[in-house]
Chain A
Amino acid sequence: MSVMVLLGSIELGIIYAIMALGVFVSFRTLNMPDLSVDGSFVLGAAVSAVMSLNGHPFLGLGIAFIAGCGAGSITALLHTKLKIQPLLAGILTMLALYSLNLKVMSGRANIPLINKATVFKPFEGIILGGYDYSKLLFSLAVLTLLLLLLFLFLKTRLGFVLRATGDNDQMVRALGVNTDLVILVGLALSNGLVAVAGALIAQSQSFVDVGMGIGMVVIGLASVIIGEVVFGVSSLMRRLIAVILGSILYRLIIAFALEIGMPPTDLKLVSAVIVALAMSMPILKKRFL
């Protein structure tokens, strides 16, 4: 694997790690598999692209986060107020977002951002050995900031309650907290992070396609699970960092698979197999080891 490919994978892994942190919040902290991720990822990308076209790429990241929070809130309300199962609530939001994303993109299926203002433009030119590190470093800075904020948030009173809700919602209600509200906050935060990742990917590849979100939730899950298996879960900070490393490792696995000749069209198939394998680890271990 060439150094270029390696660095490119790490760069992608860093951006997708923000999404993986979002998936961690819903899947692990709230214990709720949330499929709206596939839609909110594109929503973030679309919002950010439109903001870039209008010359406000940085503001676009913030608005993408807020839009993602909105999408997550809808899923939460469908589940808590209308009593729709979490999986179905997520699928409904994801489906609705497909149309909404096209609206954001003024009915176009894709938006190119070539030669437009992006968040990476001001930092361009940090070149070492022929590789432009601007995207990698800026993404790493955003990821680090979000990681710290998420960690601090999970250590607040609201963060405690969020973690306890995923663990044992009955206990949380018995201690006087409205779990419906907690789920709303959690899914909003989760999808907000996912939308920021979508925005950064759009900025990084200077291109948004309405179909770019397909399978994102699976990639997020893969990152979370790979991270946990490989890097451990002993403390909260370690878990969060494991998720990030999981995301980078996932990208390296994919890059390696492409390197040895896997056709890019098989990517989704391989992602699905990786997640299926990772999730069935406990059973497989019992049977065969």
Chain B
Amino acid sequence: MLRVESLSKTFGKGSTNEKIALNEVNLSLQEGEFVTIIGGNGAGKSTLLNCISGVYEIDEGRIILDSKDVTSDPEYKRSRHIGRVFQDPLKGTAHDMTIEENLAIAFAKGKSVGLQSGVTKKDTTLFKERLELLDLGLENRIKQKVGLLSGGQRQALTLLMATIIKPRLLLLDEHTAALDPTIARKVLGLTHKLVSEEKLCTLMITHNMKASLEYGTRTIMMHGGKIMMDLQGEERKDMTVDRLIEQFEKRSGAELDNDRMLLG
């Protein structure tokens, strides 16, 4: 499904601020796998997602999506097969446009963008149906500007937009980290629902150790631009948060630097 082969990325190459963000990362995802990614700050989690989605050009390696080499494809081309939700709720939607207009742009993914009507009655009916799934009452506010929504509502909407045309791969970059705990839980639940119903192949970065084991089918841990641990099957089922932290410290030789990771 997705294959990342010896992917390397260094920022500020040759300067005094040179930082190796990814160091020969190999990762392979099967159809329908839901992988959670954990790791401290600067581990390379976000860089990995940004390299897969094409935001960053990579230094070395290959990215293969659906047995097609997409390494040299620009971001917008890859996006036709990849859905994304960012950490910042402001990044996923256009605040000065209505809910309906935002969904219409997402729904046009992969279709020709020309002088067709931006949103038809049929589209609106479909959008309302999909919005009802969120259980946030947004289906009654379809003509309102997205700028009026709260962070959690915007994130839920972005999630819907990322999946309204079924993507081959869904990338979630700490999409609940900027939300308050109650809303974060709700958005996580919604993520679980959408991903399992559509059997979406998903990579989700999280700071929440508990969530990393609770959701998904596989957990990988990154440190210093490498994948340190890859938990699946029985081994993952028996894993607890405490043992995960212990394993992390043993394998990386570092103390967990982030209190946020322990919470939840």
Contacts and interface: CB of A to CB of B under 8 A. Distances in A.
A158 B113 CA distance: 5
Contacts of A168: 90-91, 93-95
Contact of B114 (A156, A163, A173, A175): A156
The majority secondary structure among interface residues of chain A is helix
B94 A164 contact: yes
Contacts of A156: 114-118
Nearest to A31: B96
A163 B94 contact: yes
Nearest to B96: A167
Contact of B109 (A153, A164, A176, A178): A176
Contact of B92 (A171, A176, A178): A171
Interface in A161-180: 161, 163-164, 167-168, 170-179
Contact of A172 (B77, B105, B115, B117): B105
Interface string B111-147: 1011111110000000000000000000000000000
Contacts of B106: 175
A159 interface: yes
A121 interface: no
A160 interface: yes
Given A164-B94, A170-B91, A176-B110, A157 B117 contact: yes
Most chain A CB neighbours (cut-off 10 Å) among B77, B95, B97: B97
Nearest to B54: A173
B119 to A, nearest CB: 8
B105 A175 contact: yes
Contacts of B53: 174
Interface in A141-200: 153, 155-161, 163-164, 167-168, 170-179
A167 B118 contact: no
Contacts of B86: 170
Given A164-B97, A173-B75, A176-B110, A159 B118 contact: yes
Contacts of A155: 117-118
Given A157-B104, A174-B79, A176-B79, A167 B97 contact: yes
Contacts of A171: 91-94
A168 B101 CA distance: 13
B151 to A, nearest CB: 15
B147 to A, nearest CB: 9
Interface of A: 153, 155-161, 163-164, 167-168, 170-179
20 contacts: A153-B115, A156-B118, A157-B104, A157-B117, A159-B118, A160-B97, A163-B94, A164-B101, A164-B102, A164-B105, A168-B90, A168-B93, A172-B94, A172-B105, A174-B75, A175-B79, A175-B109, A175-B161, A176-B76, A176-B109
Interface of B: 53, 74-77, 79-80, 84, 86, 90-97, 101-102, 104-106, 108-111, 113-119, 161-162
